[in-house]
């Protein structure tokens, strides 16, 4: 009996969560700006915001408001007897994601340039709930994507079994269909819940002319005046600002319906998609099919171009009321005649969308990198996952972004590091789903030279990142989640995803037996092309006998990183923010 009692006492003692002291840098900043006093005044706090946090525009009124909010939140005082911060209040402010986030939440890019000047948050097979071969089709993942800020929704449209209506499904697979009308109604309802900027629906069309007419009717009746369709072919794309609250259709112009070939999924060649590089292995606890499913090659994987595209048509031949199917297509997808070089030709007085598989993009980047950049200055390039990604995994998005591809299409229902990067990129610009491409991609020099993604460049600036400490796991996880008998042993990984020269991953020491690990370690990252760089942050719990446990992640766009000491929220594997888990970090550009 006595020994059992002792074990219990020991068990509760080991799990006791102690509040970590403010790190030395926080104490030093408080001491400096409070001028050695025990309290920091609003004016002293304003100086700290301006000089350390890089908020030069902070006024005394801003500082007073924040001080009041902190005191109210921490001490629940209705009537304030003091208007100053203690060291603990100051630390609380710095460690609060609400008060002191690492990036802004406002739209801050110029939204008046043509659509081709933006990276656009793009989904692939947006209706699938899981893998590409046998999962259910539904409007639920579409709604989720729109709520996250995704602006391009892809629907594969096919005749139903009786050929009198239209379903959405991944053709030639076992995916169970969902009716097109249900998807359209959900898009209408949720299109602008996260962002006012336009939603583009890319249709992969496998329909007969009579069903295309039916789709035109569905689209016009569902969206009405929200629908944007120009009266003649676009010479230049309109801007996101002009297209606020509009729905845009993009697909190939109609052609006679051809019976689909039966699915040829019988090749047994296996494809290895290794993520064993600077990124490290995918963390544990991912879906088993994500980690273990064999990737079987099929006929799709050899396609260079998407099946989205054919000949042009004369828009003026459209009846004006009601609009025929072909008149609704605002962004034409045009299948290239000939090879890649031909596909990348820029036509004067005309804009279009080209779709390439991830492998076709790699080939194009290798052979015609600067032509791709030139093409994307005016036209839209969509990149989609290769056909062998049956488990809804994704590819690295950087290669598309480096070449100016606006629509890097991702399986939003697949998890893993590539998708975290996509989430990170589109945290930019207030999460509105449109990120202005850096000037280096849009400018051309006198001899029509453009950015060369292969060029070896010197470091443009250096980012210094200090990882002070972490907290919140004891609130978001069960006490026994990481270890049955002791507190967790956390370490952090910090690195850069970007152009190959900038890619790196570094790691802190492991802090044993602590729910509030204090690392206090600094890392330096020279950046040759900071415009494409995304800061990757992960926390894992060291496990000697098994795979390390996942403890949180976030990716942040370096172009919008706020300098100074910041609270960094962490997310789970699906990219959902934890309630309490966060890190205290410092960012400095030198």
Give φ, ψ of 205 to 5 degrees: -100, 120
* Torsion sign across C-alpha atoms 121, 352, 246, 329: negative
Token duo for residue 415: 């998890």
The distance from CA 226 to its chain's CA centroid, rounded to whole angstroms, is 26
All residues at 6 or more sequence positions from 545 whose CB lies less than 8 Å from its CB, including other chains:
none
Beta-bridged to residue 538, according to DSSP, are 493, 553
83 in active site: no
170 in active site: yes
Strands 329-332 and 353-357: unpaired
Q: In 10 A of CB 148, how many CB atoms?
A: 19
- Which listed residue (91, 117, 170, 332) is catalytic? 170
**Cα(145)–Cα(141) distance, rounded to whole angstroms?**
6
Beta strands in 121-177 (DSSP E): 122-123, 152-159, 166-168
Longest alpha-carbon distance in the chain: 92
Token duo for residue 517: 């690990």
**Cα(501)–Cα(529) distance, rounded to whole angstroms?**
9
- 8 Å CB contact between 570 and 539: yes
**Cα(203)–Cα(508) distance, rounded to whole angstroms?**
46
Token duo for residue 264: 């040829």
Token duo for residue 194: 């996260």
Peptide bond before 359: cis, by omega within 30 degrees of 0?
Answer: no
Sort residue 545 into left (φ over 0), alpha (ψ -120 to 50) or beta.
Answer: alpha
Give the CA angle between residues 183, 325, 240 to the nearest 5°. 65
Burial class (CB in 10 A: 0-12, 13-18, 19+), 58: middle
* CA–CA distances in Å: residue 437 to residues 60, 257, 536: 35, 38, 20
Residue where the block lists tokens 């801050």? 108
- Which listed residue (92, 124, 206, 540) is catalytic? 124
Residue in 470, 568, 564 with CA at minimum distance from that of residue 515: 470
Tallying the residues shown for the chain, one arrives at 590
Show which residues are catalytic: 124, 170
């Amino acid at each position: 009996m006595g020994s059992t009692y002792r074990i219990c006492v020991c068990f509760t003692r080991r799990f006791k969560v102690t509040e970590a002291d403010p790190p030395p840098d926080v104490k030093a900043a408080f001491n400096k700006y409070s001028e050695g006093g025990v309290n920091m005044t609003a004016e002293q706090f304003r100086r700290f915001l301006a000089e350390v946090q890089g908020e030069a525009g902070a006024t005394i009124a801003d500082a007073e408001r924040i001080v009041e909010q902190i005191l109210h939140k921490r001490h629940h005082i209705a009537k304030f007897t003091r208007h100053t911060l203690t060291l603990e209040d100051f630390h609380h402010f710095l460690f609060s994601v609400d008060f002191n986030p690492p990036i802004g939440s406002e739209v801050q890019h110029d939204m008046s340039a043509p659509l081709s000047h933006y990276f656009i948050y793009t989904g692939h097979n947006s209706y699938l709930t899981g893998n590409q071969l046998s999962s259910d089709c539904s409007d639920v993942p579409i709604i989720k994507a729109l709520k996250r800020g995704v602006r391009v929704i892809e629907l594969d449209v096919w005749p139903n079994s009786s050929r009198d209506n239209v379903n959405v499904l991944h053709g030639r697979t076992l995916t169970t269909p969902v009716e097109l009308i249900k998807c359209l109604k959900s898009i209408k309802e949720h299109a602008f819940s996260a962002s006012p900027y336009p939603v583009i629906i890319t249709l992969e069309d496998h329909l007969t002319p009579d069903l295309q007419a039916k789709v035109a009717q569905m689209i016009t009746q569902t969206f009405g005046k929200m629908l944007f369709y120009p009266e003649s072919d676009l010479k230049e794309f309109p801007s996101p600002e002009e297209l606020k609250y509009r729905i845009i259709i993009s697909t190939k112009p109609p052609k006679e319906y051809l019976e689909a070939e039966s699915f040829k999924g019988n090749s047994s060649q296996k494809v290895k998609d290794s993520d064993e590089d600077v990124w490290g292995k995918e963390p544990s606890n991912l879906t088993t099919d994500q980690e273990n499913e064999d990737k079987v090659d099929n006929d799709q994987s050899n396609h260079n171009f998407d099946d989205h595209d054919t000949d042009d048509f004369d828009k003026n031949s459209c009846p004006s009321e009601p609009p025929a199917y072909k008149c609704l297509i605002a962004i034409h997808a045009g299948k290239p005649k000939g090879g890649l070089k031909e596909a990348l030709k820029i036509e004067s007085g005309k804009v279009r969308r080209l779709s390439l598989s991830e492998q076709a993009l790699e080939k194009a980047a290798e052979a015609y990198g600067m032509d791709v950049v030139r093409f994307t200055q005016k036209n839209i390039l969509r990149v989609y996952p290769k056909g062998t990604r049956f488990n809804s995994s994704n590819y690295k998005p950087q290669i598309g972004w480096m070449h100016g591809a606006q629509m890097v299409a991702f399986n939003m229902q697949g998890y893993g590091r590539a998708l975290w990067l996509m989430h990170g990129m589109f945290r930019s610009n207030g999460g509105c789903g449109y990120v202005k491409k850096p000037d280096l991609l849009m400018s051309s020099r006198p001899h029509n030279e453009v950015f060369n993604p292969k060029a070896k460049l010197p470091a443009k600036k250096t980012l210094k990142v200090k990882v002070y400490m972490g907290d919140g796991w004891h609130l978001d996880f069960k006490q026994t989640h990481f270890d049955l008998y002791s507190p967790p042993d956390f370490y952090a990984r910090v690195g850069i995803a970007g152009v190959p020269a900038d890619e790196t991953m570094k790691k802190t020491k492991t802090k044993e037996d602590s729910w509030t690990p204090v690392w206090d370690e600094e890392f330096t990252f020279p950046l040759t092309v900071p415009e494409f760089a995304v800061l990757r942050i992960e926390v894992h719990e060291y496990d000697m006998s098994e795979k390390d446990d996942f403890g949180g992640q976030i990716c942040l766009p370096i172009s919008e990183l706020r300098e100074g000491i910041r609270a960094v929220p962490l997310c789970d594997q699906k990219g959902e923010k934890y309630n309490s888990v966060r890190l205290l970090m410092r960012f400095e550009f030198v």
